[in-house]
Amino acid sequence: MGVSLYNGSMQNTVAIIGGGPAGLMAAEVVSQQGMRVDVYDSMPSLGRKFLMAGKSGLNITHSEPFEQFIARYSDPAAIQPWLRRFTPDDVRAWARGLGVETFVGTSGRIFPVGMKASPLLRAWLMRLNASNVTFHLRHKLTGFLPDKFLHFLTPDGELTIKADAVILALGGGSWRRLGSDGGWVDWLRQAGVRVEALKPSNCGFDVSWSPVFKQKFGGHPVKSVILSFGRFRQQGEFIITPEGVEGSLIYAASAALREEISASGQAVLHLDLAPDRSETQLKEKLSKPRGSRSMASHLERTIGIKGVKAGLLREFISKDDFESLERLAFFIKKLPVTLIAARPLDEAISSAGGVSFDSLDEHLMLRNLPGVFCAGEMLDWEAPTGGYLLTACFASGRRAGYGALHWLETQAL
C-alpha cells in the first residue's frame, strides 16, 4: 500500500534520486543553503560506481590546459558552462577541503594521495550527514507522477513522496549491478523528454580471432603501440580478450569506432607495432642475413617483435606477406585489425546517449517538467577515461543543484 509523505513545514524539500558523484554534489550545493535534502538510492550503499572506478586508483580529474581538457568531451559547448564553474583545479580544492590531498601522475591524470576512493567518499558522506542531508537506501524509483510526486519500491513496501524540487542523477546504462540500469529512459520519454538511445562508451570490441590466437593470447597486454583510426592517433596499450580487444587505448578511440560500426557494420583500425622505428629502419634491420633462422626468430632477433605482437601479424597478414621483408615492414607499421561489434552496454565503463540538451534549460531543468533537473551520466554526453567522466559528473551535479535553488527562489517571489 502506497504512503504519501508531504513537506509539512515552510522549509523547501529537494529530492535527489541517485547517490553517485552527481547526486551527492547536488546534495552538497543545496544543503549548504539550508534546504532540506533527501537522497534516494536503489542500492544498499552509496557511491558504488565511484568506489568501483577507484579500485585500480581513483582518477578524479586531469591537469592538462582547460581548453584542451574541454575539447575531450562530445559536446564541449553544452558542457563548458558547468566546467568553467567547477574546473579541475576546483575539484582538487574540493578534495582538499575533505582532507584528501591530490597529486599529478606522469600521464597528467590527477589522483588522491593513497589512490583510493573510499577515504574521499567516507569524508564526503560524513560532511553531508552533518549538513541536513538524509539518505534513503534501497529506495528504487519506479514511477514519476505529475507535480513532482515520486513513487518508490522500498524494503517496507511502496512509497510515494512529494518534493518541492527534484534532481535526477540516475546514471547511464553501464554496470547495471552497481545501480545504473537505464530504467528511467522510458518514463522520461513518456513525459515528453527527448532521450537519445543509451550506447556503450569507453568499451571493448569484438574481433573474430582464430581459435589458436584466442587460446594463446587471450588476456595478454599489447604494449607501446600507436592506434590510428580516421583522425584519431594515439600511443598506448590495450588487452587481448577472448572476445576481442579492450583497455585504455581502445577506450580512447571507442566513440569513433562505435559510430563506424553502427554505420558500416565494422571498423578497421591500424596498429603501429614499432612506434620508435620508421618503415625504412625496419626494412634495413630485417634485410640482415637470417641464415637458417625462421622469419619469426629473425623478427625477434632483429627488431624485438615477438609474442602477442608477432601473433597479431600472423593473425592479420598472409603467409606470403609475413615472409616478404617489404610487406612485413609495411604491416608492422600499419597492421589492419577489423572490429565487428562493440561489447554490450552493461560491460562498458560509461554510456553515451541520454537526456538531450534540447530538453534542458541552462540550469539543467527539464523544459517539460518544471522543477525537475537532471545531472551526471544520464545526460547526452560522453568523454574518455582520464578524469573527464568524474569531473563532468561533479560539475553537472553542482549546476543542477544551483539550478534547483534558483528555481525555488523564483517560485517564492
Instruction: Give domain limits for the chain.
Output: 4-200+351-412, 205-342
- pLDDT bin (cut points 50, 70, 90) of residue 128 is very high
Burial 208-221 (b: 16+ CB within 10 A, else e): ebeeebbeebeeee
Neighbours of 99 (CB within 10 A): 10
Mean pLDDT, the chain, whole residue set: 92
Q: Domain 4-200+351-412 belongs to what architecture?
A: 3-Layer(bba) Sandwich (3.50)
Region 364-378: mean pLDDT is: 96
Q: Which residues partner with 244 through β-bridges?
A: 206
Residue 200 contacts residue 348 (beta carbons within 8 Å): yes
pLDDT digit string, tens, across residues 89-121: 999 999 999 999 999 998 899 999 989 999 999
Region 337-358: mean pLDDT is: 96
Residue in the block written with cell 596499450: 237
pLDDT at 412 over 50: yes
Alpha-carbon distance values, 16 to 161, 194, 355, 367 (Å):
12, 21, 17, 18
Joined together, the cell numbers standing for residue 413 give: 517571489
At 380 the pLDDT is 97
Tell me the residue length of the chain: 413
In 3-state terms, what secondary structure has residue 192? coil
295 vs 315: which has the higher pLDDT: 315
pLDDT at 204 over 90: yes
Region 50-56: mean pLDDT is: 81
Joined together, the cell numbers standing for residue 169 give: 542523477
At 9 the pLDDT is 45
Residue 164 contacts residue 392 (beta carbons within 8 Å): no
Closest listed residue to residue 356, CA positions, set 378, 380, 382: 380
At 8 the pLDDT is 41
Question: What is the distance between the alpha carbons of residues 43 and 41, in angstroms, rounded to a whole number?
Answer: 6
- The residues, ordered by sequence, that sit 6+ positions from 2 with a Cβ below 8 Å of its Cβ are 151, 157, 158, 159, 160
At 7 the pLDDT is 43
pLDDT at 391 over 80: yes
In 3-state terms, what secondary structure has residue 154? strand
Q: pTM of the entire structure?
A: 0.90
Q: Which range, of 191-200, 289-298, 314-323, averages the lowest pLDDT?
A: 289-298
Residue in the block written with cell 538510492: 41
